[in-house]
Amino acid sequence: MTVVQTNKRTAMTDVHHYHSLLLTMLEIAAVFKKREGSIFSPTGFKMFRVANLIVCFLFVTSCARYVFHEKGAQFFTVAIGTGSIEFCIINMILVSKSDIIDRMLATSAKIFYQLPQNEETRDVLETYRTKGYTFMRAFGMLIGVNEVLGLIKPFWMARLTGQLGLPFDISCLGIPTVPCWIFQIICTSHLIVTVAFHVIIVKTLMYLTWGHSIVITKIMNRRPVHDDEENDRKIIELYCDFSRFSTSFSSLFGLTTFIEVTFTSTRCCFLIYHAIKSLSNNDMEQAIVSVTALIASIAISYVMCSCGEDLVEINQMMRDGFYNSKWYESSPQSRRRMLPMLVLSRVPIRFQYRYYMYFNYEILMKIMHSTYSLSAALIQFL
């Protein structure tokens, strides 16, 4: 076997593992069942979805009961309760649009197999796959630290007071202490997994888009002046597939991101207020938990808005790649064949929700501004 064949097979194996990992995360998030290699049977996956809804309902119910009937960290409980409602809604939206996810991943695989299988392509795709894996680990640790701090809390309080408490400020719904421990860990772990997987899936798809776009840009930029019709058709098909993938990405995750950023200001406001009140009461443990949850909430919005900036930059790069090629030296027949790409490249693809909101760093700053205003008003009047 030659070196070229070995590299081609390695690249195909890598992209297969990357797509398989995305499908596994979608499956664990109860969004989409893999056709091959699934850990669930068809009936088992339906039961898993029902179990996820039950856990979410119990979590929201326990948060509501804690807020209205018990004394403690009400604002923090409201924040995590609204987070559970938010991502339960997002999860149900993704479930209803699982066919779009299936088409997106199929289109992504089709784009990969249309790319030239050489060392340069493999290096570009490997670079962005590595960035995707790095982001998965980093964001997973950032979100998971909230669970760790919650578990440290009762042991720290037991050392100070001699009594072992519960890890999280939510109601036990009348069940004994030991089952309540298990119940709280299951509920909070479910929320963390749902949040982490939703954000990681969006960002890793964007890294996949980056890798494909760079290779496609190089193909267009290096297109021979006297290219034949067959090769032009391949380039046009590749570009159209990429545009279809980007549009599906924006339409699918635009709605879920709109819901996320809508909830963010209120959630961050409650967390800031709880952190300030905890500091004023010299409760450093509660303050640290609130600050870590606040950082995680801001990080989620930052990642989503950064995807909008990435998509704009990707489209600009591909447009420049086409215009910087020597298309003007081509024959009239060749220029006519490439006209669809010229037209499509002038239409920007943005990460948006129904032309109502474009997700970028400007939106992130507006979210932070509204969070500050709400927090100041809450501190002043309460």
Contacts of 223 (CB under 8 A, 6+ apart): 231, 235, 325, 327
pLDDT > 90: percent of the chain: 4
Q: What's the Cα-to-Cα distance from 176 to each of 63, 172, 173, 267, rounded to whole Å? A: 17, 8, 9, 30
φ and ψ at 175, to 5 degrees? Answer: -90, 160
* Reported confidence tier of residue 217, pLDDT bands at 50, 70, 90: confident
Report whether 81 contacts 258 (CB < 8 A): no
**pLDDT digits 0-9 by tens, 274-298:** 888 888 888 787 888 888 888 988 9
Contacts of 71 (CB under 8 A, 6+ apart): none
* Reported confidence tier of residue 11, pLDDT bands at 50, 70, 90: very low
Residue 14's pLDDT is what? 55
Q: Compute the Cα dihedral for 299, 305, 308, 310 and give only its sign.
A: negative
CA angle 107, 108, 113 (to 5 degrees): 95
φ and ψ at 352, to 5 degrees? Answer: -150, 170
- Number of other residues whose CB lies within 10 A of the CB of residue 88: 20
Residue 6's pLDDT is what? 44
Q: Is the pLDDT of residue 220 over 80?
A: no
Domain range summary for the chain, segments of one domain joined by +: 3-381
Contacts of 178 (CB under 8 A, 6+ apart): none
Count H helices, E strands: the chain? 10, 2
User: Pick the residue with more confidence: 14 or 368?
Assistant: 368
How much is the mean pLDDT over the chain?
82
